[in-house]
């Protein structure tokens, strides 16, 4: 998201503050000596003249040369080559001297690389749909259409969107119209949009890219008094197009990369591409580069006011989450430091390696992907290359600030890259339970007899996968108990609703009415991305059935753990018999099935288990409010400990007031706590005992605690694990929809993080 202030190109990640500067003219009165303002690419400085503070004559400057870190002064020419990225495995407590940075040669090289890519790129025919209000700023409209198409040309090697590409342009006087256009694509204002736009008034300059299950859109709100040099405006527009590229890779506006690579990279590419489009090339880039680094100073953080050690800590703190006021306004580190980091990486490694880092990060955590793409550990690069380059660049842009002396630098240990060891280091208890109980194996044959039914329309290769998965999960539970009821497995395509409902009726004619089943499952098929998955308790047996929308579910992580989840309902039914649903709490009915479904669907793959577990905890459409407490979660489990009840004439339950989303997404943590305390065998024994007495009585006997005390501990556990999941977005899973047709949520073919 970007907001322009005079020539500065600014981006708001969160609710931004607004800075309004009145027109500056040479000779006019100013208030503080040394303050610099830029208007239309001219720099004005507040100076003392004839005893008065006035603005100097505006000058257009070019900036070059190299800066000696630690001094704020130009470096003495040296034949020494610029610092190159080389990994270091030692950690020393002795401060190291700062390397000399050849600044101009580096940024010229980076700009030249962007120019090379642009000139070799082929224009692409993207279906831009420009949605322009009648009172839109006409100059911005003209620049928008030109700059966005030329930006698309630059990115064509990795981004060629299919379908409609909506671009909305409105004015501050017509915000209801903009809101209506956003609403057409399922979007709405962010909390900070309207206050900031109204504060900026006719000078407003706001743009952003938004994404949801329905679409990705770009929008701008530009005031009629918005005036900036064309090159700055083009940079603003190109910046937002970079976010469209990122969204296409990660299906998220804020995931998949460290924050500095999201906003800072957009700043660098925006400045460089705009300078190429302008025709002035390096001359414009030098000026935009300086003011991107200097942006909003002195209210922003002068990066050369910190030592190398301090800069390292600041950069680490805003990689993921962190203090948003440091990442965005007022300190703006994600934008200023991020643009410099990106420039240095492009200069040293080229665009192809840089874009490869992004592509790799769409499949794995960005931290190890960095080392794979560039051949150097990120922390080593920060300390030995990136941060000295930041200090040099900031000293050039903000010469009135000197780098602290001594410019301390104590090498830091590398981060753990093994995902399992890294997760263990968070303090999570997830792997303790998994290591003991997560041992399901594909290829294992069950003792329990299974009656399989597949429709004639069903895909043979998917049938093979489904059989193997169901055999595996049944064999897992055969280790713990004897299943004494008939088990039916039924699968059909989206065209087999009538077939599967009539088949169900033949297995339980007393309870299953085909007509009602057809109506219910047809509706469920329309509402589900993959198709309904059910576990039904029959009068004499248990049926697991699936209506599958498309064959790609066979290798989709989005379909895990549906088969394994539904079979745990058969396990529950086998243990509880006639008391199934009525003698277990809602949270365990669904949360238990979801947890054991995850545990058994990954077949010993700990990394996939942790990713799916985290996605499940945080993936509920109705997410927990910010600031949820352990008491909130304790209250939830107290309330959801009522039993499922079947209404006389409908398949309804009194669990619904507590939310199916919560029952799945919160219930897995409550189940995990239970399994950690009494084991899988103990949990099964508790379930069986509940049939003879009650859940509460059996629970207290098996757990060894009063229900109230146990629920308090569960609430604390749920909060701890939820916070760990929130704070460690690197453990994200890539969900893919490879179907030819979108689902009912209009999720397009492609991949996204959760």
Q: State residue 151's pLDDT score.
A: 96
Minimum mean pLDDT range among 24-28, 265-269, 457-461, 538-542: 24-28
Please measure the distance between the N-terminal and C-terminal CA atoms of the chain and give it in whole angstroms. Answer: 22
Q: State residue 266's pLDDT score.
A: 97
Average pLDDT over residues 614-637: 81
By percentage, how much of the chain surpasses pLDDT 90? 53
Average pLDDT over residues 285-304: 93
Average pLDDT over residues 245-258: 85
Distance CA 295, CA 336 (A): 7
How do the domains of the chain map onto residue ranges?
Answer: 2-24+32-417, 430-753
Minimum mean pLDDT range among 43-47, 204-208, 247-251, 601-605: 43-47
Distance CA 649, CA 627 (A): 41
Q: State residue 59's pLDDT score.
A: 62
Nearest residue to 451 via CA among 504, 527, 412, 526: 504
CA 112 from centroid of its chain's CA atoms: 32
Residue 94 confidence class, pLDDT cut points 50, 70, 90? very low
Distance CA 643, CA 397 (A): 66
When the candidates are 3.40.1410.10, 1.10.390.10, 1.20.1050.40, 2.40.50.140, the CATH number that belongs to 2-24+32-417 is 1.10.390.10
By percentage, how much of the chain surpasses pLDDT 70? 82
Nearest residue to 393 via CA among 477, 486, 295: 295
Q: State residue 98's pLDDT score.
A: 56
Nearest residue to 473 via CA among 556, 400, 566: 566
Q: State residue 69's pLDDT score.
A: 32
Quote the pTM value: 0.68
User: What pLDDT digit, counting tens, does each position of 734-754 carry?
Assistant: 655 444 443 333 344 444 444
Q: State residue 513's pLDDT score.
A: 62
Q: State residue 618's pLDDT score.
A: 86
Average pLDDT over residues 672-685: 97
pLDDT, mean over the chain:
83
Average pLDDT over residues 9-25: 39
Nearest residue to 588 via CA among 637, 532, 647: 637
8 A C-beta contact, residue 135 and residue 224: yes
Distance CA 161, CA 164 (A): 8
Q: State residue 210's pLDDT score.
A: 87
In Å, the largest CA–CA distance within the chain is 102
Minimum mean pLDDT range among 52-61, 261-270, 595-604: 52-61
Average pLDDT over residues 616-631: 75
Residue 312's CB is within 10 A of a number of other CB atoms, namely: 20
Helix axes 265-278, 230-250, angle to 10 degrees: 130
Distance CA 395, CA 303 (A): 8
Q: Name residues whose C-beta falls within 8 Å of residue 666's C-beta, 6 or more positions apart in sequence.
A: 587, 591, 617, 620, 624, 633, 636, 637, 718
Quick check: 158 pLDDT over 60?
yes
Q: State residue 180's pLDDT score.
A: 95
Minimum mean pLDDT range among 190-204, 208-222, 270-284, 503-517: 503-517
Q: State residue 395's pLDDT score.
A: 95
CA angle 633, 596, 661 (to 5 degrees): 40
Burial (CB < 10 A; 0-12, 13-18, 19+), residue 503, is buried
Quick check: 221 pLDDT over 60?
yes
Average pLDDT over residues 106-122: 96
8 A C-beta contact, residue 550 and residue 525: no
Token pair 């990705």: residue: 216
Q: State residue 520's pLDDT score.
A: 83
Across 40-49, 62-71, 83-92, which has the greatest mean pLDDT? 40-49
Average pLDDT over residues 48-59: 79
Average pLDDT over residues 508-518: 71
Average pLDDT over residues 407-428: 90
Distance CA 624, CA 619 (A): 10
Distance CA 193, CA 418 (A): 40
Average pLDDT over residues 557-564: 86
Top pLDDT among 299 and 162 is at 299
Q: State residue 620's pLDDT score.
A: 61
In this structure, the strands spanning 73-74 and 487-493 are unpaired
8 A C-beta contact, residue 182 and residue 219: yes
Quick check: 672 pLDDT over 70?
yes
Determine the 3-state secondary structure of 573 from DSSP.
Answer: helix
Distance CA 27, CA 286 (A): 27
Q: State residue 80's pLDDT score.
A: 30
Nearest residue to 360 via CA among 396, 284, 352: 352
Minimum mean pLDDT range among 139-143, 379-383, 520-524, 668-672: 520-524
């Amino acid at each position: 998201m970007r907001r322009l202030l005079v020539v500065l190109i600014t981006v708001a990640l969160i609710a931004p503050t607004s800075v309004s500067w009145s027109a500056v003219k040479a000779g006019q009165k100013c208030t503080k000596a040394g303050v610099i303002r830029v208007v239309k690419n001219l720099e004005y400085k507040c100076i003392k003249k004839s005893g008065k503070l006035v603005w100097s004559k505006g000058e257009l400057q070019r900036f070059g040369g190299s800066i000696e870190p630690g001094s704020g002064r130009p470096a003495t020419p040296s034949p020494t080559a610029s610092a190159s990225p080389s990994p270091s495995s030692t950690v020393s407590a002795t401060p190291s001297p700062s390397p000399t940075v050849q600044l101009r040669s580096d940024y010229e090289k980076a700009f030249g690389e962007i120019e090379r890519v642009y000139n070799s790129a082929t224009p692409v025919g993207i279906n831009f749909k420009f949605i322009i209000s009648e009172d839109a700023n006409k100059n911005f409209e003209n620049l928008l259409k030109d700059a966005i198409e030329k930006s698309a040309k630059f990115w064509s090697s990795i981004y060629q969107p299919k379908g409609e590409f909506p671009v909305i342009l409105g004015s501050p006087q017509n915000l209801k119209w903009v809101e209506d256009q956003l609403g057409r694509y399922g979007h709405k204002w962010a909390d900070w949009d309207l206050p900031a736009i109204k504060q900026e008034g006719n000078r407003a300059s706001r743009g952003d890219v938004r994404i949801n299950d329905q679409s990705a859109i770009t929008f701008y709100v530009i005031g009629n008094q918005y005036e900036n040099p064309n090159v700055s405006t083009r940079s603003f527009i190109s910046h937002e197009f970079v976010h469209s590229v990122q969204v296409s890779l990660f299906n998220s506006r804020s995931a998949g990369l460290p924050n500095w690579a999201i906003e800072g990279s957009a700043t660098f590419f925006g400045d460089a591409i705009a300078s190429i489009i302008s025709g002035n090339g390096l001359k414009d880039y030098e000026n935009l580069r300086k003011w991107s680094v200097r942006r909003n100073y002195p209210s922003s953080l002068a990066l050369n006011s910190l030592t190398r050690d301090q800069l390292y800590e600041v950069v680490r703190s805003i990689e993921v989450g962190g203090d948003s006021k440091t990442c965005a306004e007022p300190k703006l580190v994600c934008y200023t430091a991020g643009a410099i980091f990106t420039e240095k990486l492009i200069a040293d490694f080229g665009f192809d390696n840089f874009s490869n880092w992004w592509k790799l990060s769409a499949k794995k955590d960005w931290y190890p992907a960095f080392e794979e793409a560039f051949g150097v550990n990120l922390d080593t690069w920060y300390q030995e290359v990136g941060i000295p380059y930041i200090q040099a660049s900031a000293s050039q842009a903000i010469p009135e600030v000197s780098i602290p002396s001594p410019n301390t630098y104590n090498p830091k240990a590398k981060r753990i890259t093994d995902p399992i060891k890294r997760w263990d280091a968070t303090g999570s208890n997830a792997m303790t339970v998994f290591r003991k109980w997560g041992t399901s194996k594909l290829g294992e044959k069950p003792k329990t007899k299974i009656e399989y039914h597949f429709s004639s329309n069903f895909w043979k290769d998917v049938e093979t996968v489904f059989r193997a998965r169901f055999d595996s999960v049944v064999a897992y539970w055969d280790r713990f108990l004897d299943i004494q009821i008939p088990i039916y497995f039924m699968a059909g395509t989206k065209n087999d609703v009538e077939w599967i409902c009539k088949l169900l009726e033949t297995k339980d004619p007393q309870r299953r009415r085909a007509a009602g089943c057809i109506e219910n499952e047809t509706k469920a098929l329309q509402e589900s991305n993959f198709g309904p998955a059910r576990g039904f308790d029959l009068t004499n047996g248990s049926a697991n059935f699936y209506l599958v929308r498309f064959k790609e579910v066979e290798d989709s992580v989005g379909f895990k753990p549906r088969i394994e989840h539904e079979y745990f309902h058969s396990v529950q039914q086998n243990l509880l018999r006639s008391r199934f649903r009525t003698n277990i709490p809602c949270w365990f009915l669904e949360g238990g099935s979801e947890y054991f479904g995850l545990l058994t669907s990954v077949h010993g793959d700990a990394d996939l288990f942790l990713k799916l577990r985290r996605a499940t905890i945080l993936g509920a459409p109705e997410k927990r409010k910010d600031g949820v407490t352990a008491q909130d979660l304790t209250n939830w489990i107290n309330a959801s400990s009522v039993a499922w009840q079947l209404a006389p004439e409908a398949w309804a339950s009194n669990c619904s007031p507590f939310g199916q989303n919560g029952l799945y997404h919160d219930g897995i943590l409550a189940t995990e706590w239970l399994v950690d305390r009494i084991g899988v065998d103990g949990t099964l024994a508790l379930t069986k005992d509940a049939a003879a007495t009650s859940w509460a009585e059996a629970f207290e006997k098996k757990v060894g605690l009063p229900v109230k005390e146990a629920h308090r501990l569960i609430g604390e556990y749920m909060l701890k694990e939820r916070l760990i999941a929130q704070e460690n977005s690197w453990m994200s899973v890539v969900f893919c929809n490879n179907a030819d047709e979108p689902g009912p949520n209009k999720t397009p073919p492609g991949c996204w993080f959760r």
